[in-house]
Structure 1
């Protein structure tokens, strides 16, 4: 199982976070006029994501993506190189127009995740950010060209890495989304 490539930052095992990560600098893949973001604080809900919207490094089956409060994101250098990938999407993924790396994706619409920005923590120059804790939208890798015949092996490898595979988000995040919807509908019960 260990030979299945999922994502460079987890393929050799999931590194535990330091527990005291204070933030750092995210960089795009350009060697000239690199886009840099300053992130304050640690990431939350870090996970491997199989969706077809998230940026993935070349050859990766999954992205690794986490959230931070949008107020903790500052474009520090070369923000003029950023453009929103899909203005109609919930997550407004800002990518470098030259190298294509997604730098941050704020949620600005009325949604349970409003006020959060999605980032790819492997782009940090610093180590110690909270480790991925689960895998989401696992079946979606089929849409990216992975054979359905390989899915048992993909799920087994994720479990081997300690990343429980889900075909949505993990249960606490799904409960949060359902609670948000119930509050809007007036059916929420404490």
Structure 2
């Protein structure tokens, strides 16, 4: 009998359904003293498992769970002085706790299809009702994080088993949004 591939604690035991009426909640970093807290007004969208090497993952997880919210809906409400930007040159300005390392919010501020959105990790919230993960992105990138290539068939099978579709980029909807943004900037899109 083969061992179950563990992807992330928030999806390994089954994906919890979100709530259409969810009004938002608060994320807290992993610190036991003076945790950073970030409030998100309203529901998130495009929640997904991400295999990229930039997203924060809890200890032992192969994938991150990350979603987006409008930047105007994301508010640091406690201990923001503990936050620092991980990579100021990156598209997503990931603000991480300097003590525990958890990524609390990552706004996109430069000219891009995702400008005005902030990436967040809803797993850092005790609140129930967040949108469930919808797909898995950048699946092949877990190899760059140290996963042996021979494990990929099992990982993709497990992703499908938990009810997600694995992509080696983003979901088709998000890829269409990126291509639309690029075509509009280039003047090649005629709607």
Which bracket does the TM-score occupy, shorter chain normalised?
A: over 0.9
Query: What is the RMSD computed on CA atoms of the aligned residues?
Result: 0.9
Pair 1:180 & 2:181 matched: yes
- Structure 1 stretches of 5 or more lacking a match? none
Give the Cα separation in 2 of the matches to 1:30 and 1:137: 29
> For residues 2 and 162 of structure 1, do their structure 2 counterparts lie closer, same or farther at Cα, with a shift above 3 Å needed?
farther
Shift of 1:20: 1.3
Shift of 1:189: 2.2
Give the Cα separation in 2 of the matches to 1:189 and 1:174: 18
**1:119 corresponding residue in structure 2:** 120
Q: Deviations over 1:109-160 (max 9, x none)?
A: 0000000000001111201111001000000000111110010000000001
Give the Cα separation in 2 of the matches to 1:2 and 1:75: 40
Give the Cα separation in 2 of the matches to 1:114 and 1:18: 26
Total equivalences in the alignment = 190
Give the Cα separation in 2 of the matches to 1:22 and 1:135: 25
**1:73 corresponding residue in structure 2:** 74
Give the Cα separation in 2 of the matches to 1:163 and 1:120: 18
Pair 1:155 & 2:156 matched: yes
Give the Cα separation in 1 of the matches to 2:138 and 2:190: 28
Give the Cα separation in 2 of the matches to 1:22 and 1:13: 23
Give the Cα separation in 1 of the matches to 2:89 and 2:108: 11
**1:146 corresponding residue in structure 2:** 147
After TM superposition, the structure 1 = structure 2 runs for residues 42-57 of structure 1, keeping only pairs within 5 Å, are 42-57=43-58
**2:13 corresponding residue in structure 1:** 12
**1:109 corresponding residue in structure 2:** 110
- Structure 2 stretches of 5 or more lacking a match? none
**1:89 corresponding residue in structure 2:** 90
**1:189 corresponding residue in structure 2:** 190
**2:27 corresponding residue in structure 1:** 26
Instruction: Name the SS for the 1:9 alignment partner.
Output: helix
